[in-house]
Amino acid sequence: MTKEVCFIRLSPENFMLETTTVWSFPDRGSWATHSGRYRGNWSPYIPRNLILLYTKPGDWILDQFVGSGTTLVEAKLLGRNAIGVDINPQSVQLTKSNLNFTCSTKSIIHVVNGSAMNLEFIEDGRMDFVCTHPPYANIIKYSNGIAEDISLLEVNEFVEKMKVVARESFRVLKREKMCTVMMGDTRRQGKIVPLGFRVMECFIQAGFALKEIIIKEQHNCTSTAYWRNVKKNFLMIAHEYIFVFVK
């Protein structure tokens, strides 16, 4: 059995809960096991804020694109129960490793290798909160050909699969509870592709009502330095959307 690791700092310093619809975190956060080494993962400040805003201790949280486990680490630190799902078994193992620390709260955490489009192991109306950060179509490819890995798909097929993800999210969530999804836009041949709003529509079509649109400022984008030195006729995308839906 692997011995759990005890960390000195298990929470952010001088943390303040967000109160507006514009969020910006220049310091992406490095407490507990959080780091930016997993490409494309979100800042732990985001799930921390969302969990504190929309859940209470003991609630069940779902992240069906668990990645490196940022959401589940925050759930554990904040005394929430959680289920994390990822189609990539390497992400499942990384998440389990990142959950291997000791803290004073008590949580039940499950990590499952599976598809966000098929959550049959979760009963209807079981979850108190969905808090997830899907891939942005094929901007970052997270596997070399795993079936049902939607990070390998072009935009139109990706959106079709997100419709299935949205329906499953609606099914497993309790009534009057929140579903939060972070999504960004992309470009094709210099033209903006409003991927964020297309994904937003997937969740509205699934039956959700839109409660909030939060604009999250991007920092430390790896391509920023390159594009600053390239002649271009478009603006760099420096924002993402956090959509808050209610069932």
Give one DSSP letter per residue of 221-247, joined into a string.
-TTHHHHHTS--SSPPP-EEEEEEEE-
Q: What pLDDT score was predicted for residue 230?
A: 57
CATH architecture label of 22-246: 3-Layer(aba) Sandwich (3.40)
Averaged in consecutive runs of 10 residues, what is the pLDDT profile of the chain (247 residues)? Answer: 58 94 91 85 96 98 97 98 97 96 95 98 98 90 90 94 98 98 91 95 98 91 52 80 98
Q: What pLDDT score was predicted for residue 241?
A: 98
Sign of CA dihedral 138, 141, 142, 146: positive
Amino acid occupying residue 119: L
CA 214 – CA 231 distance, rounded (Å): 31
**What does pTM read for this prediction?**
0.91
What are the extents of the domains in the chain?
22-246
What H or E segment, with its residue span, contains residue 81?
A: strand 81-86
Q: What pLDDT score was predicted for residue 232?
A: 65
Q: What pLDDT score was predicted for residue 137?
A: 87
Tokens read off for 120: 């049959």
Give the 3-state secondary structure of 206-227.
Answer: CCCEEEEEEEEECCCCCCHHHH
